[in-house]
Amino acid sequence: MTRTSATRIAVRASGGRDYEVVIGSGLLDHVGVEAREAAPGVRHWVVIADHTVDELYGDRVSRSFGASDVSVRRLTFPAGERHKTRDTWASLTDRLLDLAVGRDGGIVALGGGVAGDLAGFVAATYMRGIPVVQVPTSIVAMVDSAVGGKTGVDTPLGKNLVGAFHAPARVVVDPATVETLPRAQRSEGLAEAAKHGAIIDDGYAREIRLHAGALLDGRPSVVEPVVRRSIEIKAEVVSQDEREGGLREVLNFGHTLGHAFEAASDYRLPHGHAVAVGMVCEARLGESLGLTAPGTADELRTLLEALELPVAPPAGWDPASVLGFVQADKKVRDGKARVVLLECMGRVAPAAPGWAHPVAPNVMRELLDSA
């Protein structure tokens, strides 16, 4: 792969901060060139990754800057969602201060969604904001978190409660890195790709189902076009609505109930599994309300099963507890949850106004009792 044969997708962002997502196997060796081109004012680059990803790819990314007139340093943190905290943010920020990185600094966020959100939030806040180049290495990060500018950390009260919008200067995606990703992580990431098919492109959903085995095996020739199509979809949505004032809501399909299942399990249910179950339940909800074409939930279930994802709530779950989390969601209005519903596979049912439908607690409870 040469840099020039990579795919480039333009993303619109507010304040003249439009950026490019560049996609191609082997691009890890070109991160330095891409970063310098996107943020020419940066003199001191700092690559932030978790220990696992740093070990695998940190050297390669640092070397990609070549023997140039910019400095490149590496900072790491322990892998895992439980380290996406204000403490880790503070530690990384203090280490940047120790390194005397100033306003001419820039961050490379290398890794999964945790590194992307955390390092992105460091970049959003350090010296009131320095450039970040997102280099996603998990499927979740490639198809979802690296594009769109949402950054942040978790707190004991919930996920992503403290954060900022900070558009990346560039996103550099090397789908070959998926080869080292554990199969369970690939499966989780593919839940978000399936969501893109379900909300916007039925044909894409069918492609994912057809190639599910090869995708789970991480075969690069199959992973790359899927990652590219998902990024095209996400880029199109966030270009139209960066701050989630309207269309970006459609990306929440499966997430109202998914987040509630995840929280009710005390975060033992992996996010991708929670979203898969949430999508099936929300499709059934749409069918019961007469908004979603009959058979859509079954179609979705078949797709998710092919991706080795669960399609029913975990054993021992408590509908009352899940309902409690649904009703505590920050998007609840007048006591009603707001849920994105499908018209059919590949199309979201418009609400008036917007894209999320108000659902009364008794209707939600009925759905949960029958799940």
- What are the structure tokens assigned to 338, written together? 């707001």
Q: In this structure, what token pair is assigned to residue 136? A: 């996603």
Containing H/E element for 160? strand 158-165
Judged by CB under 6 A, the residue of 27, 79, 119, 135 near ligand NAD is 79
Please say which residue, 81 or 236, places its beta carbon nearer to ligand NAD: 81
Indicate if 244 belongs to the active site. Answer: yes
Shortest Cβ 132–ligand NAD spacing (Å): 12
Q: Cβ 344 to ligand NAD, closest distance in Å?
A: 25
**209 lies in the binding site for ligand GLY (CB under 6 A):** no
Residue linked to tokens 């304040």: 15
Catalytic residue among 30, 44, 150, 196: 150
User: Does the footprint of ligand NAD cover residue 191 (CB under 6 A)?
Assistant: no
Place of tokens 């990652």: 227
Q: How far is the CB of 197 from ligand GLY (least distance, A)?
A: 15
Of 144 and 232, CB closest to ligand GLY: 144
The answer to whether the beta carbons of residues 95 and 71 sit under 8 Å apart is: no
Torsions phi, psi for 48 (to 5 deg):
-110, 125
The residues pairing with 340 across neighbouring beta strands, listed in sequence order, are 356
Residue 347 to residue 196: CA distance in whole angstroms: 10
Contact flag: residue 141 with ligand NAD (CB under 6 A): yes
Residues 6 or more apart from 172 whose CB is under 8 A from it?
A: 22, 27, 28, 30, 31, 34, 35, 133, 134, 135
Q: If contact means CB under 5 to 8 A according to the sort of partner, which of ligand NAD, ligand GLY, none does residue 286 touch?
A: none
Shortest CB 32 distance to ligand GLY, Å: 27
Which residue, among 360, 358, 359, 340, has the nearest Cα to 350 in the 3D structure?
A: 340
The rounded distance, in Å, linking the Cα atoms of 298 and 315 is: 21
Segment near ligand GLY (CB under 6 A); pick from 105-113, 120-128, 142-150, 220-228:
142-150
Name the catalytic one among 34, 192, 287, 299. 192
In 3D space, the residue among 45, 67, 227, 249 whose CA is nearest the CA of residue 133 turns out to be: 45
Structure tokens at 130: 């320095």
User: Strand, coil or helix: what is 320?
Assistant: helix
The reply to whether 148 sits near ligand GLY by the rule CB under 6 A is yes
Tokens encoding 11? 């993303």
CB of 294 to ligand NAD, least distance (A): 30
Q: Is residue 188 close enough to count as binding ligand GLY by CB under 6 A?
A: no
> Judged by CB under 6 A, which of 30, 36, 150, 271 binds ligand GLY?
150
Span 226-255, contacts to ligand GLY by CB under 6 A: 248, 251
Which position among 111, 218, 286, 313 is part of the footprint of ligand NAD (CB under 6 A)? Answer: 111
Among 29, 81, 104, 366, interactor with ligand NAD by CB under 6 A: 81
Using CA atoms, how far apart are residues 295 and 297, in angstroms rounded to an integer?
6
Reference 72, options 117, 36, 28; nearest CA is 36
Instruction: For residue 150, state whether it binds ligand NAD (rule: CB under 6 A).
Output: yes
Residue 180 binds which entry of ligand GLY, ligand NAD, none, CB below 5-8 Å type-dependent? ligand NAD
Residue of 247, 241, 240 whose CA lies nearest to 340? 247
Site residues (CB under 6 A) for ligand NAD, limited to 16-75: 50, 52-53, 56
Q: Which residues are catalytic?
A: 128, 150, 192, 234, 244, 248, 252, 255, 259, 271
Residues that bind ligand NAD (CB under 6 A): 50, 52-53, 56, 79-81, 84, 111-115, 117, 137-138, 140-141, 144-145, 148, 150, 159-160, 177, 180-181, 185, 188
